[in-house]
Amino acid sequence: MTKKLTQWGLGALLCASLLSSCKGTASGDQADLLVYNATVYTVNQDFAKAQAIAVKDGKIVAVGTNDELKAKYKAKEEVDAQGKPLYPGFIDAHAHFVGYAANQREADLVGTTSFSEVVQRLQKHRQEYPSAVWLTGRGWDQNDWDIKQFPTKDTLDKLFPGTPVIIERVDGHASLANQKALDLAGVTAQTPQVTGGKIEIKDGKLTGILVDRAADLVISKIPALTSGEYTQVLKEAEQNLFAVGLTSVVDAGLPKSSVDLIDSLQKKNELKIRVYAMLSPTPENKAHYLKNGPYTTERLNVRSFKVYGDGALGSRGACLLHPYADKKDETGFLLLTVQEYKDLAAEIFKSDFQMNTHAIGDSANRTILQIYGNLLKGKNDRRWRIEHAQVVNPADMPLFGKYSILPSVQPTHATSDMYWAGDRLGMDRLKHAYAFKALMQQNNMIPLGSDFPVEHINPLYGFHAAVARQDAKNYPKGGFQMDNALTREEALRGTTIWAAYANFEEKQKGSLEVGKVADFVILEQDIMTAKPEALRDVKVLSTYVNGEKVYGKK
């Protein structure tokens, strides 16, 4: 009797701690779905755990013990989780969903160990798609090659003389174009340099390398995918995201046409993933959205602008306060003038939109933080963000907390860049890079993403990188700059509730609580207890959006 009373008491306390979630619904004790016998990480304020959840009409109606929920709810479908861990659906706080989808039709150059391998993959891709007018690809990184220098267009000119070719570096901030592509774009050695970009010239000749905005001269000439083609690749991409447990994704920098396509597909139930769209600050986007205000549906949220402050560290486009350690005559550059950033920030500040600015280098971070601060004044709830915040001078770190600015980071950037970041920055400056813990402490939260397709789509890679500060090879032993590692609870919050907060969506999702959408994922192993070296290999068993299984065995 005593044991039974104790169990009842624990169950009652658990229900009370989860906002009285064991009570029946207003329509009775009916539910669409009951998942029980799970280790449920609610990720609520107390980080409480439960055993079961009940779902009706796409929302969570109860969270509690197996006995309580099975006694109170009669569900159309019951799922025995067999003790497996269940988490809120993972949210990627910074990615490029549409770009990733489009890349499904390009040559995959990720992981190439030499320029020769890049060329081999391009030749194979050309054989697979011989009728394509352009040959495009993405993912090369000269830092992974024995010869760690930008390639030139000479080989591409010889192999593809009549086909325009342009291939993007892994970070999307540098590209290599062949002569045919340059000719179609009208780019010559006499073309004026582009503000916020660089046309590389050596010995008076084009090398084919175009950094940041200079690449737009060529990319703008590539025919866009048709609506039908985009629809197909978006559906394919969505399935890949569901397979790794993602239920929401932030798409950083979209035109209105892409937003409209996503909206139409979601309304037809052809696209089920949730999207937080950051708009590119184009004249068209500003004219429409600043006039009409944020646009929100059940699965789409459009209330922010994505701005590019500088380029990337790997291509030396990141804007630094002092010269690059491995190139003393370069400091990188901003992509706009300081006045243009001030004007844009003031324009967005007058609206209900969020401003989210890409800033990699310490100079770019300082510039944007100061511009934000001059408008925000002090603590606020505008939730303006710095995307990446990779290198932050210690003197500027407190500005994040002072002005309630959210640093949105991608943990796998640290473990991808650690092999060569010290060469770019020097070891003293490297200490102030990828400082996730210090950044988290500014506002007691930090949203986490991947920046895919720059990095892999799997959020568990980011989880592993955040807590172990190691890459896929579990290198380095002991972790990279472990003083800035996150705890597992912080990393899980970063890819769930903190990511939701950064999108103004913490009341709708990000934790498993009554009234929130039933987005959740069941894994084969518990990432809160698994050995660090096992984290990247943990498999997703099933993914649910709105209580509907969108991935897993039927």
Q: Which domains does the chain have, with CATH numbers?
A: 100-219 (3.10.310.70), 344-483 (3.20.20.140)
Rounded to a whole number, what is the largest CA-CA distance in the chain? 90
pLDDT digits (tens, 9 = 90+) for 238-273: 999 999 999 999 999 999 999 999 999 999 999 999
Model pLDDT, residue 33: 98
For residue 1, name the pLDDT band (cuts at 50, 70, 90): very low
The more confident residue out of 140 and 24 is 140
Model pLDDT, residue 147: 86
Tell me if 48 sits within 8 A of 40, measured CB to CB. no
For the ranges 12-21, 215-224, 288-297, 429-438, the lowest mean pLDDT is seen at: 12-21
- pLDDT of 9 strictly over 60: no
Question: Taking Cα atoms as reference points, which of 138, 152, 143 lies closest to residue 114?
Answer: 143
- pLDDT of 8 strictly over 60: no
Q: What percent of the chain has pLDDT over 90?
A: 88
- pLDDT of 10 strictly over 80: no
- pLDDT of 454 strictly over 50: yes
Tell me the pLDDT of the chain averaged across its residues: 93
pLDDT digits (tens, 9 = 90+) for 373-390: 999 999 999 999 999 999
Burial of 133 (0-12, 13-18, 19+ CB in 10 A): exposed
DSSP one-letter code for 348: H
CA distance 202 to 323: 21
Model pLDDT, residue 132: 86
Tell me if 137 sits within 8 A of 192, measured CB to CB. no
The more confident residue out of 8 and 147 is 147
pTM: 0.87
- pLDDT of 23 strictly over 60: no
pLDDT digits (tens, 9 = 90+) for 455-500: 999 999 999 999 999 999 999 999 999 999 999 999 999 999 999 9
* Residue 289: partners with Cβ closer than 8 Å, 6 or more residues away: 256, 279, 295, 302, 353
Model pLDDT, residue 104: 84
Positive or negative, the Cα torsion across 529, 483, 379, 374?
Answer: negative
- pLDDT of 196 strictly over 90: no
Q: How big, in percent rounded to 5, are the helix, strand and coil portions of the chain?
A: 35, 25, 40
Model pLDDT, residue 506: 98
- Which whole number is the average pLDDT over 205-218? 94
pLDDT digits (tens, 9 = 90+) for 504-521: 999 999 999 999 999 999
Model pLDDT, residue 247: 98
For the ranges 2-6, 274-278, 361-365, 534-538, the lowest mean pLDDT is seen at: 2-6
- pLDDT of 437 strictly over 50: yes
Strand pairing class (274-279; 300-308): parallel
Written as one letter, the residue type at 324 is Y
pLDDT digits (tens, 9 = 90+) for 103-146: 888 999 988 999 999 999 999 999 998 888 999 999 999 988 98
